[in-house]
Amino acid sequence: MKKLLVSVIAVFLLAAGMIEFWTPQKAEASTVTFTYYAKNEFEARTGPGDRFSKAGRVGFQTAFTIKKGGISSGWAEIKLGGKTMYAKAADITNKKPSQPVYFNYYTKEPVSFYGGRGTQTKRYGSIAEDAVIKVAKGTVLNGWVEISHKGTKYYADYTKLTSAQPVFFTYYAVKNVTLYNERNTKTPKAKIAPGSVVKVKKGSVISGWSRIEYNGIKGYAPYSSIASKPVYFTYYANKNTKVYTSKSTASSVLASLTTNDQTKIRQGGIANGWAEADHNGKTGYIRSSDIVNKPVAVEEIAPEELKYYVRVNLSLRTKKSTSSSIILTIPQGKEVEVLNPAELKDDWVSVKYSGKTGYVSAKYLTLEPVAKDTELNKVIVIDPGHGGKDPGAIGNGLQEKDVTLAVGKTAAEKLKKLGYDVHMTRSDDTFLSLNERTDFSYSKNAGVFVSFHMNSSTAPSANGTETFATNGSGSFSTSSMTDKEKADSAKLAAFIQSRLVTALKTTNRGIKEEAFYVIDKNYTRSVLIEMGFISNKNDAAIFKTNSGRDTAAEAIAQGVNDFYQWKKNN
């Protein structure tokens, strides 16, 4: 009875079409076969249709045979390894295919790659998010795809790849930001200063973390630490200055500012001697030494400090311009009263002479009525460049003001041990105007003045050491210094330059001449040293270490001592 019942049910199901059996057609007498190949990797079936179970995976370029007439209704009966299977006609070809065609895809997230299709196969490594990955055409199967990584074939999860190139938007760090290798705080890889410009990947915010690129480094950071708009702070011009369209005084002028004019400076926008400003909605650049974060106060200076002398016959004018009317001409060597000492660092300064008030060119004023030889005593003034609100050049994790102070202080100690009476224009992070530095040198009656600086360039390859001094052959005025002092300055520069490039093994850029204020308006033998390029990673690396700074300080101290020994014998 049971057997009869089963038979009846089977007949019923067959009649209803609910059970399907594949019965291979009877083989024909012909045994003619052709060789075919897999155009791409595919899954073979036990019968001619996707409804049949899987018979095995056939790899790209795999050869198999097909009997004459074995292709029908889009399916082919193939013989591979002694087994009969079925393949889609679209997946096969009678010509051996060439190497696979690869397309560039991008990883949507970190992607692991395997030896086969599935996580159960051997894992060989991981490819970072946003990386370009080569995907073989026509190899997507069961959610996995063949890839080429460093010349080797692997497989990856196709759902984690995209043909669309990632899009990044400009954002700004609103505070100190740590960049991490993963979306957690366990893998820090870089620090980002407030105001720094970063790139944020579109659609990358997951659980409060976003994909960020900073200076070519990619990682993850909390989305709350960045903003799509920059933060600006109010600064003030500390002198008459200009806003330029680029970081060069040779570029077009966007606007002119007078002392205490306000300007908006982007947070983190001060670098390499320039500050990025927003001027009426337009981006401009101001020399960072020309701005301060609070209004400039009128300095109170003792009457004796207001006495200056004119270097040449000098016109007293009604306005700060050579095109303005001349009130009178002040004879060379005559004393004038400076009405606003803060203007001494500007191009024009207000003075009073013979009862008349007007403006004269500041570069023609001097503390000495007549240039005279300063005694070559053992008093040395060390001048660490920049300081306080003026960081100087910034690059490779260094600020010029910090490097010059560190090397200057060490050089001062070394010179003291050699028996010199050493004074520093600044011994901490203090801002000094340029005229304060030269006036300090004058007040100490220094025999030698050495100013410490770091160079910078928009070209990262620029490197090397150079020392500046005037030898009297230049076109700018240095009447505060005698011809003998000018010659001594050039010799002092030569001794220091030789010692520095030998000790630091930097490129020798030579001894040069430039109208730097501390040279142009000094009253004794003076040099300005550009120890290296803070914008060059190799030069900067020297000054990141205590040993590198000590080496530079020792070389400069020995160079100064070489000069004194030379003078002693000549």
Q: SS3 for 277?
A: strand
The residue behind tokens 């190899």 is 139
Q: Express each pLDDT in 443-500 by its tens digit.
A: 888 999 999 999 998 888 999 999 998 754 444 444 567 788 888 999 999 999 999 9
pTM of the predicted protein model: 0.46
Range among 35-39, 264-268, 504-508 rated most confident: 504-508
- Tell me what pLDDT residue 369 has: 65
Amino acid 10: pLDDT: 46
Q: Where are the alpha helices (DSSP H) in 360-482?
A: 400-417, 434-443
Domains along the chain with CATH numbers: 33-93 (2.30.30.40), 102-162 (2.30.30.40), 168-227 (2.30.30.40), 232-292 (2.30.30.40), 307-366 (2.30.30.40), 379-569 (3.40.630.40)
Nearest partner of 556 among 422, 381, 445, 408, judged by Cα: 408
Give Cα 136 to chain centroid, integer Å: 37
- For residue 209, give the nearest of 191, 199, 224 by alpha carbon: 224
pLDDT at 15 over 60: no
Q: Tokens at residue 211, please?
A: 């994909």
Beta pairing partners, 7: none
Over 90: is that where the pLDDT of 554 sits? yes
Residue 24's pLDDT is 52
pLDDT tens for 244-254 read 999 888 788 88
The pLDDT value recorded for residue 381 is: 97
Q: Which of 272, 270, 288 is nearest to 458 (CA)?
A: 272
Q: What is the pLDDT of residues 490-548, one digit of tens each?
A: 999 999 999 999 999 999 999 998 768 788 778 889 999 999 999 999 999 999 999 99
What's the confidence (pLDDT) of residue 479? 52
- pLDDT tens digits for range 59-72: 888 899 999 889 99
Tally of helices (H runs) and strands (E runs) in the chain: 7, 44
Task: Decide: 76 and 91 in contact? Cβ < 8 Å.
Answer: no
How many whole angstroms from its chain centre is CA 83? 63
- Residue range 32-43: average pLDDT? 87
d(CA 255, CA 245): 9
